[in-house]
Structure 1
């Protein structure tokens, strides 16, 4: 049975990738096809799906800063959107009741409110996958989207407590004690080294926190998220995240398959799901309007809103609880499953063209931007040094140091992570905050002063996007980039990048040259 899942997931995931769609869309299709062929989800598949979501939330926590959640644009944007969405969606559903639309006509006021609430959430799985695949987890819009999702997850936990009648145990107060043992936990993590114990440490903390929260009647996924945030400041947080990435992606295949196993649809149910999907553009417009009102730049507002324009897997949890409680019929579980699936597919397709669409329509979209901006969205004018290193990770910092040694004060770094920029600046490096995929950034600096741009970013898609923005801004200098594989190197050179270095082979050449210098006479 398990091989059948793997076969269909691989086949349809590969098919989706061949036609330039995310593999997750193929996994969704595989679940529905297997269900149609008579297969059923086993406990193994459900356990894999649950484990994937738990690991994903833990890894989100590892990348989160609590300061990001208390920003006005995050908590106010999330809660305001939820209140307005529920009111408008409730009115939309009741309008369909008046016109006696099938399945809607039988809904009571309470049932309509439950559906509106279930549809108010955006998909954590979908958004995180989008940001990871595009290398945008640490960008301004990536952090904003994740912050909105975390606030939604907190609201989700409160609903589950109210709906299931499971109040937190009196022993839940003991969880506060973990703040006092953080120094000992940090020392424990320090001792695990850099080998096979690193991923095991991640599993231990993620699943351990899950079980602890479940023991005191609090949803375990919240425990995994908070545990990640608890460990985020540790020096090994990034290493743990990278070690868990492949495991998380593998387990999430179970989640996408399980959606297809939720129920078998009929054509009428598919029609109802399509009607519900008509609300997705409103979700985008509402987010976009609120973010602009909160003084966020139009590009950030646009990209964040587009990524959040989908329905959440949490809607299925709400539906399942509502069916068990008699608030909704079984058919609604199928309809909501289809709505979630359709929204996943459309978000993945639309976001693929998001950067290009904004670039082509930025003059119109910028009209909605407020003149006064948040301090975080005001870019500092970079210096006039002719070499720019985009992406100040390990490779970028290595390139910057090498350039500084060869050509002092001729290079500066650029990164979309403001926290990293503050750290680099405090350590004497000439680094600036900015999003290289934002054409407005390049249009607002003196490109005629720049002779060379080094793209030290891990994602090939990022290289494409940044190169496209530079070309659109009429940049006349040279561009260099890194790639992990030869096919990526060839594709980037064909796209117009002047020099692409194979990360692995060039590292070997540099290692050999530096080492050989030790024995020169």
Structure 2
């Protein structure tokens, strides 16, 4: 990627950030702008794009609990939604063809079905970026969203495989033996240590999975996902995912820029794309209804539905294959590129206000809930705790153990990740699995005996959201938080938190204290 790509991507991404939009919106607009100026895409851009998507699926796989895909609320929501969207879009497309709208007028039933299939997918790239920015990938609604996206991605890969008329090799059956490689892959990662060799190992594994699947006639990205799933759940998988995060984000810029180089749109194409984007709220609403019918709580269903309120890059792949077989006009590839771009912008804006929208519509949302909820959605609350620690990662765990040792008080940890909470409970700590950003959680907590709430979570926006919930339930005790950066520290102090620690600075101070005590011995 030469200077022009870096310059334009940065300028548009920076501009989007200044108006509180995700940078990806700027990257999308930059791609169309470069194309309109006559800039020709280089092969390196496509390489970066492919690598970004491969690393994205690889990092998703590292955090995926494969057993979650077998839950009814996951596969049921994914398959029911896809079936209904394909049916409704087919009917609507044929209706628009009857009205003689441009580009729809040449569609037959098969073409309409293919368009229905293309828009039935939601974007893994967009949804994961939204969830990552809010640090909600491992929250209940984040896991539901990821599970649905994985099932959709598998369906898309299967379609592309069969549509390409390329039958997988008989050797593809040998892939069922891949789980036997898990201990060897983990041993390899452990030998890599914690430095620059670890992310390189991630690249190696992601590419190796892709090459292996390509050799047997399957999609490369699916191979990267499967290899990552093999090692998910191990402590090294979390470290590997963190080491790849910044690489993935940089390479995905190539993906967002490349969408704009699909083709230059005409006004008729833009109009056709906008017609299809009108149905985005219906797509999100359909997800919400299906999820609540499958006994998910209203908040989980609502936040998941907003994350999925977009169209997918896999839709472009479906349409591209259909154009290649002569089943759709080539203009539909441009229209779908516009549809995907508009939906990314819509989804990014919508999700930036997700928690505010839930607070406004909560009274109506909860009316859709079933009386019986799923075991994972039962609200667990602390009992008679005087100090609550929100977030039981390394910082929260250290704070918990220190408080127990020095104050012998009644301390309770609150952890959103179910497995981590279970591990703490097994270790004898008083921890409950709950989402502290859920207003219903705080309405069930008896705060009368809580003297202090400590925020041990890294994202200051999450802390600000929780403080809002505490204000709604009239919490009047003390609050303490952590921050990575000084500007975030000031925002937390301004919102009413009594004391905020920059944990990088405090780690250094604690280290110095220990050294001084050693000198004095």
Fold-level similarity (TM above 0.5): yes
Which segment drifts farther, 502-511 or 23-32?
A: 502-511
Distance 1:141 1:473 in 2: 23
Partner SS, residue 21 of structure 2:
coil
Distance 2:388 2:107 in 1: 59
Aligned runs of 1:411-430 on 2, under 5 Å? Answer: 411-430=411-430
Point out the more displaced range, 400-409 or 218-227. Answer: 400-409
What count of residue pairs does the alignment treat as equivalent? 521
Task: Name the SS for the 1:236 alignment partner.
Answer: helix
SS at match of 2:120: coil
- 2:8 maps to 1:3: no
Q: Secondary structure at the match of 1:114?
A: helix
* C-alpha distance in structure 1 between counterparts of 2:210 and 2:479, whole Å: 46
Equivalences for residues 25-64 of structure 1 within 5 A: 25-64=25-64
| Residues 386 and 409, structure 2, Cα contact 8 Å, conserved in 1 | no
TM-score by length of 2: 0.98
SS of corresponding position for 2:136: coil
Distance 1:162 1:192 in 2: 39
Unaligned runs of 5+ in 2: none
2:25 is paired with a residue whose SS is: helix
Partner residue, 1:326: 326
Distance 1:241 1:478 in 2: 35
Greater Cα offset, 122-131 or 483-492? 483-492
Partner in structure 1 of residue 268 of structure 2: 268
Within 5 Å, which residues of 2 pair with 1:367-382?
Answer: 367-382=367-382
SS in 2 for 1:191: helix
Instruction: Report what 1:346 is aligned to.
Output: 346
Q: Residues 239-285 of structure 1: CA distance to partner in whole angstroms, max 9, x if unpaired? A: 11111011000000000000111110111111111100011111111
* Alignment correspondent of 2:448: 448
Do structure 1's residue 222 and structure 2's residue 240 form an aligned pair? no
Q: Tell me by how many angstroms 1:97 deviates.
A: 1.2
1:332 shift after superposition = 0.8
- Where 2:365 maps in the other structure, the secondary structure is helix
Indicate how the Cα distance of structure 1 residues 166 and 409 shifts in structure 2: closer, same or farther if over 3 A, else same.
Answer: farther
1:209 aligns with 2:216: no
Instruction: Tell me the alpha carbon deviations over residues 472-505 of structure 1, each in whole angstroms, 9 at most, x when there is no partner.
Output: 2221112211111111111221122221111211
Paired residues of 1:386 and 1:449 also in contact (CA < 8 A):
yes
The answer on whether the counterparts of 1:448 and 1:476 sit within 8 Å (CA) in structure 2 is no
Matched, 1:136 2:132: no
Q: Calculate the aligned-residue CA RMSD, in Å.
A: 1.1
Range 422-431 or range 187-196, more displaced = 187-196
- CA–CA separation in structure 1 for the residues paired with 2:190 and 2:475: 46
Contact 2:186 2:236 (8 Å CA) reproduced:
no
1:143-166 CA-partner distances (Å, limit 9, x unpaired): 000000000011111101111011
Distance 2:409 2:148 in 1: 40
1:78 aligns with 2:66: no
The alignment's TM-score, normalised by the length of structure 1, stands at 0.98
Alpha-carbon distance between aligned partners in 2 of 1:362 and 1:272, rounded to the nearest angstrom: 34
Q: Deviations over 1:364-393 (max 9, x none)?
A: 111111111001101223121111111111
Matched residue of 1:447: which SS? coil
**Offset at 1:405?**
1.0
Whole-angstrom CA distance in 2 between matches of 1:322 and 1:176: 30
SS of 2:432's equivalent in the other structure is strand
Give the C-alpha shift of residue 444 in structure 1. 1.0
Q: Which residue matches 2:483?
A: 483
1:297 is the counterpart of 2:297: yes
Give the Cα–Cα distance (whole angstroms) in 1 for the partners of residues 314 and 181 of structure 2: 33
- Counterpart for residue 160 of structure 1: 160
Runs of 4+ in 1 over 3 A off after TM superposition: none
> 1: CA distance between counterparts of 2:223 and 2:186?
18
| CA–CA distance in structure 2, aligned partners of residues 144 and 303 of structure 1 | 10
User: Contact 1:486–1:502 at 8 Å: present in 2 too?
Assistant: yes
Q: Does the 8 Å CA contact 2:27/2:257 hold for their aligned counterparts?
A: yes
The aligned residue for residue 250 of structure 2 is 250
What is the deviation of 1:56? 0.6
CA contact (8 A) 2:160 2:317 kept: no
3-state SS of paired residue (2:283)? helix
| 1:387-466 correspondence runs (5 A) | 387-466=387-466
CA distance in 2, matches of 1:166, 1:495: 58
- Contact 1:403-1:410 at 8 Å conserved across structures: no
For structure 1, which runs of at least 5 residues remain unmatched after alignment? none
Mapping for residues 86-235 of structure 1, pairs under 5 Å: 86-235=86-235
1: CA distance between counterparts of 2:183 and 2:217?
27
Q: CA deviation at 1:184?
A: 2.4
